[in-house]
């Protein structure tokens, strides 16, 4: 997400770095580059122009140009303006104690059904009792998809019938709510490939019947800024309270997410970051601006790590002292569950700059390591010294890798073990040397 914009902006700021002072012309030239970077990220011309104008007004004051680190001042201004562009403060959908009804709208393929499942999963984990409503009266396949999702996550699904009227849907929903307690109803509505009158009428009528507390428009970020006029139409015809951007994982440019607030005036509540059921994140403008500018996003990283169970301190201390191959496997699996390696690196301040542009960490490497360690016996994992040449040959054959792969893994393991030992010896309460952590 936002990779190309991040690379471009960081390049612009690199050219300003280390200057004792900046002239007005230098700042103007840099901001022209910023504007090009925004346009290349598929931000609309109007938004890009507006953005650089605001930065320029703030930056081209004598204070900035004469300050001790003018490049830092300019970066700070760009950061603040990016936060504003993305919506300012983090916006969340309203959630009362009881009787919340959320209506999801969007074009077919935007990710509505997937997102309905993700929301139910997320809020169920927070102790809510969600009910999913499959309200596509035209496509039984769409209802089937939600039924399957609901089953996977243990959330009941109320399905409309073919051509059921919105009034009938409301009556059936009320009937269900009379007999079973649910505090969050998530309604997945019909979508079409393109906006048409019939679709707008149908969702508007359903909205009038259900009086939802939130009406969220699901937008596919991959379609870029052209998705935004569609958003405006939905808002004019049906009324939208917030946006959900899906497939940000697949969109390196991020133009839709960057322009959405400005163009529609609606906040982005969530970002879809993978196809998986847990791939929906709250949309924090400040953290995202930090990520774009290569400042990292330590808060999200910490939250992700915390969400993984079984990380108590006693465990960690024991692991550091006696780091086995089994521990190595467990750690790798935990990291994998946090998301892609490259994405994680980007959340660590400065780390993204260590990666050459366009470089991706080979996720297959993790799968290979997993396969190799899984082919070892329990005893071998605990006592790697046992791993002589013939055992290594057996493990390579068993994991579909080569003996060289196994040897490389063992070398990495020995290095990790050394580091773990050193960490384990540090007095408690002290962080890593020189990192201020
Ligand atoms: P709907 O027609 O709006 O209900 O769309 P679906 O929920 O069926 O989603 C369409 C496709 O987009 C499916 O293949 C989903 O797996 C995929 N999808 C949805 N959200 C995301 C996301 O955040 N990231 C990725 N990579 N794929 C997504």
pLDDT by position in tens, the chain (length 437): 777 888 888 888 888 877 777 788 888 899 999 999 999 988 988 999 999 999 998 887 756 666 667 777 888 888 889 999 999 999 999 999 998 999 999 999 999 999 999 999 999 999 999 999 999 988 889 999 999 999 999 999 999 998 899 999 999 999 999 999 999 999 999 887 777 888 889 899 999 999 999 999 999 999 888 888 889 999 999 999 999 999 988 876 888 889 989 888 999 999 999 999 999 999 999 888 888 887 766 666 666 665 654 444 445 556 666 778 887 777 777 766 666 666 666 666 655 555 555 555 566 777 888 889 989 998 898 888 899 999 999 999 999 999 999 998 888 888 777 766 765 554 443 333 333 33
Q: In this structure, is residue 221 part of a structural domain?
A: yes
With a 6 Å cutoff on the Cβ, whether 241 touches ligand 1 is: no
Distance 173 CA to ligand 1 centre (A): 26
Q: Residue of the nearest CA to atom 13 in ligand 1?
A: 111
181: in domain: yes
Query: Domain range spanning residue 321?
Result: 301-425
Place of tokens 């009406």: 215
End position of a domain, from candidates 294, 317, 336: 294
CA 337 to chain centre: 13
Q: Which of 111, 188, 256, 268 to mutate to test the pocket of ligand 1 (most atoms within 8 A of CB)?
A: 111
Number of structural domains in the chain: 3
Mutate to test the pocket of ligand 1, among 114, 189, 277 (most ligand atoms within 8 A of CB): 114
Q: Whose CA is nearest to atom 28 of ligand 1?
A: 275
Binding residues for GTP: 106-113, 188-192, 246-249
CA dihedral 104, 105, 109, 112 (to 10 degrees): 0
Whether 48 and 141 share a structural domain: no
Rounded (10°) CA dihedral 355, 357, 358, 362: -20
Q: What is the ipTM of this complex?
A: 0.98
Q: How far is the CA of 114 from the centre of ligand 1 (A)?
A: 6
The closest residue, in CA terms, to atom 12 on ligand 1 is 111
Q: Final residue of a domain: which of 242, 260, 294?
A: 294
Residue 8: CB within 6 Å of ligand 1? no
Residue 437 lies in a domain: no
CATH number at residue 372: 1.10.260.30
Same domain assignment for residues 257 and 153: yes
pLDDT at res. 432: 38
Structure tokens at 92: 């969340």
Q: Ligand 1 mean position to 167 CA, how many Å? A: 29
Q: Domain for residue 31, yes or no?
A: yes
What is the C-alpha to C-alpha distance for residues 271 and 257, in angstroms, rounded to an integer?
Answer: 9
Q: Is residue 108 within 6 Å of ligand 1 at its C-beta?
A: yes
Beta bridge partners of 281: 271
Per-residue pLDDT at 422: 65
Measured between alpha carbons, how far is 258 from 260 in angstroms, rounded to an integer?
Answer: 6
> Domain for residue 430, yes or no?
no
Query: Do 182 and 133 have their domain in common?
Result: yes
Q: How far apart are CA 70 and CA 93, in angstroms?
A: 39
- 363 and 332 both lie in a single domain: yes
Question: 288 and 156 in one domain?
Answer: yes
137 touches 163 (CB < 8 A)? yes
Q: Is residue 60 part of a domain?
A: yes
- For residues 409 and 309, state if they share a domain: yes
Shared domain for 206 and 314, answered yes or no, is no
Residue 114, ligand 1, Cβ within 6 A = yes
Out of 146, 216, 227, 275, give the residue to mutate to test ligand 1, the one with the largest number of ligand atoms within 8 Å of its CB. 275
Strand partners, 100: 184
Predicted local confidence at residue 23, as pLDDT? 83
Instruction: State whether the beta carbon of 349 lies less than 6 angstroms from ligand 1.
Output: no
At 412 the pLDDT is 80
pLDDT number for residue 297: 63
Instruction: Give the end of a domain, one of 85, 108, 142.
Output: 85
Looking at the structure, tell me whether residues 264 and 136 fall in a common domain.
Answer: yes
Do 130 and 244 have their domain in common? yes
Ligand 1 neighbour 322 (Cβ under 6 A): no
The CATH code of the domain that includes 237 is 3.40.50.300
Whether the full predicted model's pTM is greater than 0.90, yes or no, is no
Both 144 and 241 in one domain: the answer is yes
The CB of 191 under 6 Å from ligand 1? The reply is yes
CATH number, position 67: 1.20.120.140
- The strand pairing partners of 104, in sequence order, are 188, 216
Distance 141 CA to ligand 1 centre (A): 14
Statement to judge: residues 119 and 226 lie in one domain: yes
- 143 CB less than 6 Å from ligand 1? no
Q: How many CA atoms lie within 13 A of 247 on its CB side?
A: 18
Binding residues, by number, are: 106-113, 188-192, 246-249
Does any ligand 1 atom lie closer than 6 A to the CB of residue 247?
A: yes
Whether residue 90 is contained in a domain is answered as no
Q: Are residues 55 and 175 in the same domain?
A: no
């Amino acid at each position: 997400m936002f990779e190309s914009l991040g690379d471009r902006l960081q390049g612009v700021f690199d050219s300003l770095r280390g200057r004792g002072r900046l002239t007005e012309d230098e700042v103007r030239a840099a901001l022209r580059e910023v504007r090009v970077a925004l346009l290349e990220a598929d931000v609309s011309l109007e938004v890009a122009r507006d953005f650089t104008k605001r930065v320029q007004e703030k930056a081209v004051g004598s204070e900035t140009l004469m300050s001790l680190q003018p490049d830092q001042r300019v970066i700070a201004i760009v950061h603040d303006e990016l936060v504003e562009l993305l919506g300012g403060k983090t916006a969340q959908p309203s959630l009362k104690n009881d009787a919340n009804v959320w209506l999801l709208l969007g074009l077919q393929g935007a990710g509505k059904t997937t997102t309905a499942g993700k929301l139910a999963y997320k809020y169920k984990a927070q102790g809510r009792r969600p009910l999913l409503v499959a309200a596509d009266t035209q496509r039984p396949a769409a209802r089937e998809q939600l039924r399957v999702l609901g089953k996977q996550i243990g959330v009941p699904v109320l399905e409309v019938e073919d051509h059921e009227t919105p009034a009938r849907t409301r009556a059936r929903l009320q009937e269900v709510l009379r007999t079973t307690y649910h505090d969050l109803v998530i309604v997945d509505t019909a979508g079409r490939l393109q906006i048409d009158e019939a679709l707008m009428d149908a969702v508007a009528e359903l909205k009038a019947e259900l009086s939802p507390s939130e009406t969220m428009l699901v937008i596919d970020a991959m379609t870029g800024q052209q998705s935004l006029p569609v958003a405006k139409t939905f808002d004019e015809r049906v009324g939208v309270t917030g946006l959900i951007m899906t497939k940000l994982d697949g969109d390196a440019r991020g133009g839709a997410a960057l322009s959405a607030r400005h163009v529609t005036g609606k906040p982005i509540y969530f970002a879809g970051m993978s196809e998986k059921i847990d791939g929906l994140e709250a949309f924090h403008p400040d953290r995202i601006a930090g990520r774009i500018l290569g400042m990292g996003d330590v808060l999200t990283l910490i939250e992700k790590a915390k969400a993984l169970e079984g990380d108590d301190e006693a465990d960690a201390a024991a692991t550091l002292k006696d780091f086995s191959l089994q521990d190595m496997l467990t750690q790798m699996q935990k990291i994998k569950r946090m998301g892609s390696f490259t994405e994680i690196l980007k959340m660590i301040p400065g780390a993204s700059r260590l990666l050459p542009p366009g470089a991706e960490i080979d996720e297959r490497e993790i799968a290979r390591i997993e396969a190799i360690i899984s082919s070892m016996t329990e005893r071998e994992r605990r006592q790697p010294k046992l791993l002589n040449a013939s055992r290594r040959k057996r493990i390579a054959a068993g994991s579909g890798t080569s003996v060289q792969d196994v040897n490389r893994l063992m070398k990495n393991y020995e290095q990790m073990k050394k580091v773990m030992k050193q960490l384990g010896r540090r007095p408690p309460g002290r962080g890593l040397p020189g990192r201020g952590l």
